[in-house]
Amino acid sequence: MLFRNRKVVNVWIDMNHPSHFEKLFKLRFHRSIYLSVWKKNVIQIILILVSCFGFLIYIPSVYLAWQQGLGEVVILDTLALLLVWFLLLLPNRFYKPKSYFLVSLIFILGCLLYTKIGLGGAGILWLFLVPVFCGIFLGRIITFWSYVITSLFVF
């Protein structure tokens, strides 16, 4: 309810019209209460954001890694961006493979950066994301084992 000239005016919002976000990225948001539908939408939005911002970060990252003589980082960054673009093009029905590939990519990227650069790099931050994404997308048992594996790798 809104107040206009000291009168109460009822405001009704039609939820059937697509939002600007849905039109821009051509996503289909289902008005659903099911968790699996939300997980599919969340992973698609994460992949869209990573593909957009990842390309912006890719250029200086590869340039600096090349100057420092870290060829493995250059190769892995290139393969990671290509994998994200490939996962983005997969339909939403491949939700589980998308989740496994994304979590594996984050773990491999974190391991490589942690071993090559050390604590000064961003590897430890990537490794902390692995259990979080496992908890969101893959379930409790895989989340527990991702905590164990990530903790063993860090220590």
Per-chain mean pLDDT for the chain: 79
Q: What tokens were used for 130?
A: 């692995």
Domain membership flag for residue 17: no
User: Cα 39–45–47 angle (5° rounding)?
Assistant: 100
Tokens of 30: 């289902």
**Residue 135, domain member (yes or no):** yes
In a domain, 1, yes or no: no
| Greatest distance between any 2 Cα atoms in the chain | 70
Domain annotation covers residue 20: no
Is residue 11 one of the residues assigned to a domain?
no
Q: Is residue 24 part of a domain?
A: no
Residue with tokens 């984050």: 106
The residue whose two tokens read 């093009």 is 89
Pairing of strands 7-9, 2-4: antiparallel
What pLDDT does residue 11 have?
46
What range does the domain containing 69 cover? 32-154
What would the pLDDT profile of 1-51 be if each residue is shown by its tens digit? Answer: 545 555 554 544 445 555 555 555 555 555 666 777 788 888 888 888 888
Q: Are 109 and 149 in contact (CB under 8 A)?
A: no
**Whole-angstrom Cα distance, residue 111 to residue 122?**
10
pLDDT reported for residue 67: 92
Count up the domains in the chain and report the number.
1
**Residue 88 forms part of a structural domain:** yes
Crossing angle for the helix pair 35-67 and 123-137, nearest 10 degrees? 170
* pLDDT tens track for 85-108: 888 888 777 888 888 988 998 898
Give domain status of residue 5, yes or no: no
